[in-house]
Amino acid sequence: MVKIEIVDEQDAHLTVVLKDTDRAFANALRRTLMTDVSKMAIHKVRFEMGTITDSNTGETYESVGAIPDEVIAHRLAMIPIPTYHDEFCFLEDDPGNAGLPKEEWGTPASQVIYHCSVRGTPEGKLVTAGDLNVLGEEKLQIPETYRGIPITKLYSGQYLEFYAYAVLGKGSQHSKWNPVSGVAYTPRKIANVAKPKKAKALWDLNLTITSKDFTGGKLDDVQKVETLVREMHHVGDGTARISDFADAITIDEVDGEFIFSFDTDGSMSARTAFDMAAKSLSDRFSNLSNELEDEI
């Protein structure tokens, strides 16, 4: 049974230690996070075309701009959309689709609609993710942290108006439905002081890690070991201190333990993404075990 120890948890970041496992499992978890955890993403955009006239100023605006609609649509697809898995179903599973052609699929049960309407200015009006207004619950609005994501810029006589439709999908279908980035794992390491006198060459630099961080000549705190590894470059190969330091401190890998970390795009918390990946992986292995039992 794999054991998990949380090292650093933030809303959009998670670092854990996986224990009693191997590289195959860590890699399977990495791939599952990127391909099998569903998230909301804009997959269809309807642009309003033509000209409009301001009733107050009489100024006319045309639906033109420096960036093609296709590029704008691509940028919209990358904006993190708040994802509530328990409240939405996949587009193809929406019961409201019954009797409708595929191009008309989608009800409030499977999609979120955003509207954007912006007019240009002489100095240039920057259109951002914050200009998207959800046609639904306020909690589905683009999170404040990401409202500054740029989309395009409009000048005098230009306007942009569209309706954007977000639905659930998985990274295995398209990268816009990949909720994570920087997914990585590395063997856990511990540090041991082999030559206390020579280690003084590092302590004398007054960096972050000191001899007081070691207990019985050993340092196993995950974050401190990572910091120590970076700081040892000051006394490592290519420095004038290498002869004084030599192999005063050794860094050893821990069998069966891996440091696993990743960030989300903001569409969901890192804890939610991790829990869903773990469940998906567990279900997959359970199904495989059942199939093997049936065959045998």
The domain boundary residue, chosen from 175, 195, 211: 175
Tell which residue, 259, 277, 100, 74, has the closest CA to residue 180. 277
| 48 and 157 housed in the same domain | yes
Q: How far apart are CA 236 and CA 245, in angstroms?
A: 8
| 28 and 79 housed in the same domain | no
pLDDT digits (tens, 9 = 90+) for 125-171: 999 999 999 999 999 999 999 999 999 999 999 999 999 999 999 99
| 44 and 171 housed in the same domain | yes
Structure confidence at residue 288 (pLDDT): 54
Q: How far apart are CA 29 and CA 82, in angstroms?
A: 23
| 31 and 43 housed in the same domain | no
Residue 30, in any domain of the structure: yes
Task: Give me the number of domains the chain comprises.
Answer: 2
| 12 and 131 housed in the same domain | no
| 163 and 73 housed in the same domain | yes
Q: How far apart are CA 106 and CA 166, in angstroms?
A: 10
Pairing of strands 13-19, 180-193: unpaired
Residue 290, in any domain of the structure: no
Residue 291, in any domain of the structure: no
Q: Which domain holds residue 68?
A: 39-175
Residue 142, in any domain of the structure: yes
Residue 84, in any domain of the structure: yes
| 27 and 46 housed in the same domain | no
Alpha-helical runs (H) found in 10-146: 23-35, 69-77
The domain boundary residue, chosen from 142, 175, 208: 175
| 117 and 43 housed in the same domain | yes
Q: How far apart are CA 159 and CA 169, in angstroms?
A: 31
Q: What is the pLDDT along the chain (296 residues), one digit of tens a residue?
A: 889 999 999 999 999 999 999 999 999 999 999 999 999 999 999 999 999 998 888 899 999 999 999 999 999 999 999 999 999 999 999 999 999 999 899 999 999 999 999 999 999 999 999 999 999 999 999 999 999 999 999 999 999 999 999 999 999 999 999 999 999 999 999 999 999 999 999 999 999 999 999 999 999 999 999 999 999 999 988 899 999 998 899 999 999 999 999 999 999 999 999 999 999 998 887 765 555 555 55
Q: How far apart are CA 39 and CA 23, in angstroms?
A: 26
The domain boundary residue, chosen from 175, 191, 223: 175
Q: How far is CA 193 from CA 26, 230, 240, 242, in A?
A: 29, 16, 20, 16
Residue 114, in any domain of the structure: yes
| 62 and 18 housed in the same domain | no
Q: What is the CATH number of the domain that holds 71?
A: 2.170.120.12
Tell me which DSSP letter residue 65 carries: -
| 28 and 123 housed in the same domain | no
The beta strand positions in 74-173, using DSSP E, are 111-119, 125-128, 133-134, 150-154, 159-169
Count of C-beta atoms within a 10 Å radius of residue 19: 15
| 166 and 192 housed in the same domain | no
CB contact at 8 A, 228 and 248 = no
CB contact at 8 A, 118 and 125 = yes
Q: How far is CA 97 from CA 7, 88, 112, 165, in A?
A: 45, 14, 15, 15
Half-sphere exposure of 132 (CA within 13 A, CB side): 35
In this prediction the pTM is: 0.87
Q: What is the CATH number of the domain that holds 28?
A: 3.30.1360.10
What are 296's two structure tokens? 């045998």
Q: How far apart are CA 140 and CA 233, in angstroms?
A: 46
Residue 273, in any domain of the structure: no
CB contact at 8 A, 125 and 152 = no
Structure confidence at residue 184 (pLDDT): 96
pLDDT digits (tens, 9 = 90+) for 104-123: 999 999 999 999 999 999 99
Structure confidence at residue 7 (pLDDT): 95
Structure confidence at residue 294 (pLDDT): 56
Residue 73, in any domain of the structure: yes
| 139 and 234 housed in the same domain | no
Structure confidence at residue 13 (pLDDT): 97
